[in-house]
Copies of this chain bind each other. A is one copy, B any other.
Amino acid sequence: MAKKVGRIRDVARETGLSTATVSRVVNGAKNVKPDTREKVLRACEMLDYVPNPAARTLSTNQSRTVAAIIPTIEHSVFAKYIAAIEQTLGERDYSLLLAISNADLEQELKAARQLLGMGAEAFILSGSDHSRALLDMFDRRGVPYVYTSIWEQASPVPTIGYDNHLLAARAVEFLASEGHENIAIIHGPLHDNDRTRARRDGAVAAGRGKLKLDFFETVLSVEGGKKAVRSMLRGGRRHSAILCFSDVLALGSYFALFEAGLGIPQDVSVMGFDNLDWSAHVAPALTTIDLPAEQMGVEVATQLMQNLEMAQPIATTLLAAKIIKRRSVRSL
Contact = CB atoms under 8 A, between A and B. Distances in A.
Interface of A: 1-3, 5, 48, 50-55, 57-58, 61, 63-65, 72-75, 79-80, 82-83, 86-87, 90, 93, 95-100, 110-111, 113-119, 121, 140-144, 221-223, 226, 248, 251-252, 255, 258-259, 276-278, 280-283, 307-308, 311
A87 B100 contact: yes
B308 A1 contact: yes
Given A54-B54, A54-B58, A255-B282, A96 B95 contact: no
A251 to B, nearest CB: 7
Contact of A53 (B1, B99, B119, B252): B119
Q: Is the interface of A mostly helix, strand, loop or mixed?
A: mixed
Nearest to A278: B222
Report copies per complex.
2
B74 A83 contact: yes
Given A74-B83, A86-B98, A95-B115, A61 B281 contact: no
Given A79-B74, A87-B100, A53 B117 contact: yes
B3 A142 contact: yes
A54 B57 contact: yes
Contact of A251 (B52, B97, B111, B278): B278
B311 A283 contact: no
Contacts of A140: 3, 5, 48
A82 B86 contact: no
Contacts of A48: 140-141
Which of A54, A72, A252, A281 has the largest count of B CB atoms less than 10 A from its CB? A54
